Amino acid sequence: MSPAREPAGSDVCCPEARSPDATDADLRQAAAAFAHPITGAGLLQLLTSFGPFVAGCAAMYLAYPISYLLTLALALPTGAMLVRVFIVQHDCGHGSFFASRRANTIVGRLCSIATLTPYANWGRQHGLHHAYWNNLERGAGADIYSACLTMREYLARSPWQRFLYRLPRHPLIAHVLLPPLVFVLLYRLPFDTPRSWIRERNSVHMTNAALVVLFGTLAALLGWRQVLLVHLPIMVVASIVGVWLFTLQHRFEASHWTKGGEWSFVDAALQGSSWFSLPCALHWLTGNIGFHHIHHLNPRVPNYRLRGAHEAVQALRPTRPLGLRGGLRAPWLTLWDEARGRLVRFCDAS
């Protein structure tokens, strides 16, 4: 499909790859053709993200006096819709959701109240991820989800140091226990934000103030226990799903990690970021974030145009998709084996 004929918000499933090699400049140009927001598509996605999310919250409140098990069951689709709201916030942070910077800021801040994620602070931190993703030289300094040690570096540590490195990266801790704690508690403090980032630190405090007003009002009207038992399960579901998606975007069996001088922007995007092949409905639910290789190739492409950009780039240089089975294995891939040129599990280190 040519960029000129790509329909806004198209939901057609991706065709098979078709064409041979192209230069890096050709690939970047193909993606750049889609790096222009479409106001109508953005407004439609805003409606279809916040609408079902708010409806899900309302349904949980209505179900609460009838059956808390039903309320918990409704937390699954409601939490999934919150992931879609987060993708809108993510795009606003990149300045890609709307053409207007002011519109991006307003919508991003609105999303941040639902996601409990300070807009400006998270956006700048996320920008650092785009500066060093899949770069092994940042292994010791970056967060546990977007960096890793080489097997040689890991084996050079003492047994106690290895244990301390492994513990927070165990799938149950990294993908079940930590995500809710990060979004609910850690994002309430600018704990890892440099003091020179005044705007970003203020965004943490302003988000907290907005949350106090919102949940304080709900608690006054409905009771704090009901508010807690409705919104906490939503955040648990959304944070676990969101962190898993974030992990498999760069940790999968075919992912390629390199060091400093060997790192290449285009190769890191297309070989170090995943194309997570999902059914069309799940691509819609996750805001097309499965086309993550295209997002890294050009972060200015709004999520509702990632599919079209993927098809244009795929026609020039085919990329292999990551299936659901590979995605489920992603949390176990924690070390880079330089000898084999692939990610491996801790149990593979010897």
Chain segment 174-220, per-residue pLDDT in tens: 999 999 999 999 999 998 889 999 999 999 999 999 999 999 999 99
- Asked if residue 308 is part of any domain, the answer here is yes
Q: CA–CA separation, 55 vs 195, rounded Å?
A: 39
- The range of the structural domain enclosing residue 235 comes to 31-348
C-alpha torsion 295→300→304→310, nearest 10: -40
209-215 — which CB contacts under 8 Å span 24+ positions? 210/113, 211/113, 211/116, 214/113
The 10s digit of each residue's pLDDT in 93-120 is 999 999 999 999 999 999 999 999 999 9
Closest-CA residue to 292 (of 279, 278, 117, 4): 278
pLDDT score for 6:
40
Torsion region of 94: left, alpha or beta (phi above 0 gives left; psi -120 to 50 gives alpha): alpha
Mean pLDDT across 158-165:
94
pLDDT score for 132:
79
58 vs 127, residue with greater confidence: 58
Q: CA–CA separation, 210 vs 7, rounded Å?
A: 38
- Asked if residue 301 is part of any domain, the answer here is yes
Q: How many domains does the chain have?
A: 1
Q: CA–CA separation, 8 vs 12, rounded Å?
A: 11
Structure-token match 């540590």, residue found: 157
> Would you tell me how many other CB atoms lie within 10 Å of the CB of residue 297?
26
Least confident segment among 123-127, 137-141, 165-169, 306-310: 137-141
- Asked if residue 9 is part of any domain, the answer here is no
Return the DSSP state at 97.
S
Reply yes or no on whether the pLDDT at 18 is more than 80: no
Reply yes or no on whether the pLDDT at 306 is more than 50: yes
Model pTM greater than 0.85?
A: yes
**Chain-wide mean pLDDT for the chain?**
89
> Which residues are CB-contacts of 258 (< 8 A; sequence separation ≥ 6)?
134, 135, 136, 264, 267, 268, 272
- Asked if residue 289 is part of any domain, the answer here is yes
Report the percentage of the chain scoring pLDDT > 90. Answer: 70
Closest-CA residue to 109 (of 80, 138, 88, 81): 88
Reply yes or no on whether the pLDDT at 27 is more than 80: yes
Reply yes or no on whether the pLDDT at 143 is more than 70: no
Provide DSSP, 207-260. HHHHHHHHHHHHHHHH-HHHHHHHHHHHHHHHHHHHHHHHHHTT-STT---B-G
- Asked if residue 140 is part of any domain, the answer here is yes
Integer distance in angstroms from the first to the last C-alpha of the chain? Answer: 48
Collapse the DSSP code of 291 into the 3-class scheme (helix H, G, I; strand E, B; otherwise coil) and give the result. strand
- Asked if residue 339 is part of any domain, the answer here is yes
Question: Which of the four pLDDT bands, split at 50, 70 and 90, describes residue 261?
Answer: confident
Mean pLDDT across 234-260:
91
Q: CA–CA separation, 248 vs 279, rounded Å?
A: 17
Q: CA–CA separation, 34 vs 4, rounded Å?
A: 9
- Asked if residue 163 is part of any domain, the answer here is yes
Reply yes or no on whether the pLDDT at 265 is more than 90: no
C-alpha torsion 134→137→141→147, nearest 10: 20
Q: CA–CA separation, 18 vs 24, rounded Å?
A: 17
Q: CA–CA separation, 15 vs 29, rounded Å?
A: 20
pLDDT score for 145:
67
> Strand 149-150 to strand 335-337: parallel, antiparallel, or no bridges (unpaired)?
parallel
- Asked if residue 47 is part of any domain, the answer here is yes
